[in-house]
Amino acid sequence: MDLGLRNRRALILASTKGLGRAAAEALAAEGAHVAITSSSRERCEAVAGEIAARHGVRTAGIAADAFDPSAIDTLHAGAVEALGGGIDILVINHTGPALGVATEIDLDVLQKQFLLIVSNPIRLIRHVLPGMRERRFGRIISISGGSIVQPLPNKVMDNTLRPAIVGYTKALANEVAADNVTVNIILPGTFVTDRVHDSTASNARLMGISVEEAMRRRIESIPAGRFGELAEFGAAIAFMAAEQSGYMTGSILRVDGSQTRSIL
């Protein structure tokens, strides 16, 4: 099935590894030109080169500090220049928010995490949105987490800040749907990434158990009986970005092996 993504221009945040890279690989496999980002110029350029060689698309590796508003402005300008035009597909992603419990929340950390999770993603959306509306095609996809459905232990920043993006996403989707710009959230379950290892180790310390035991419990909590494959996640991103997905907006798509217990 041709998803209609050939020669579309995609900017994927935090895309040198994990879920972000899976998204970049899947979009490039469909013929989209991709801008790869992270805090490391070396990683960005290396991954961009690998994806270009594998899929034969135009790529760019652009380093940016996701906590710095001015860096977000520079990132957008660099991606437009490198890819030869306005961004058609924006995938919002970032490093895992700071771990911790609600009773010990650090307000200074909260302010910094607000930039990462809420303010700077919206800043970037504001950059790409006018062009999307003018071209009458745009796909904005935010990679989120289970805390938007139910609070998660030891993840106070997720629990506090991610729901703000849910409200913004729905409000924006309502405003731009008639312009063929979709705004959605993808909710991944547990995939084998650095974030999973970090959070599992932190949970193990919190519960006073071994990391191995904490990992075993995580797998047992997933009805599918396994962690997700990154290629499965990438395929879902490509589907959400497709021309044929223009009527799916203001939605949350779960890719979690039925890990989230609620229906809604």
Percentage of the chain beyond pLDDT 90 is: 80
Query: In this predicted model, what pLDDT tens digit does every residue of 178-224 receive, in sequence order?
Result: 999 999 999 999 888 777 777 788 778 888 998 888 888 888 889 99
Q: Grade residue 34 by pLDDT with cuts at 50, 70 and 90.
A: very high
Please give the pLDDT value at position 218.
84
CA gap 256, 254 in Å, rounded? 6
Sign of CA dihedral 169, 254, 20, 231: negative
Residue 70, pLDDT score: 98
- Span 172-181, average pLDDT: 98
CA distance 32 to 12: 12
In contact, 145 and 260? CB cutoff 8 Å: no
Residue 193: the pLDDT is 77
Which pLDDT belongs to residue 119?
A: 98
**Residue 27, pLDDT above cutoff 90:** yes
Q: How many CB atoms lie within 10 A of CB 254?
A: 16
Q: Which domains does the chain have, with CATH numbers?
A: 9-189+229-254 (3.40.50.720), 190-227 (no CATH)
- Each residue's pLDDT tens digit, 237-248: 999 999 999 999
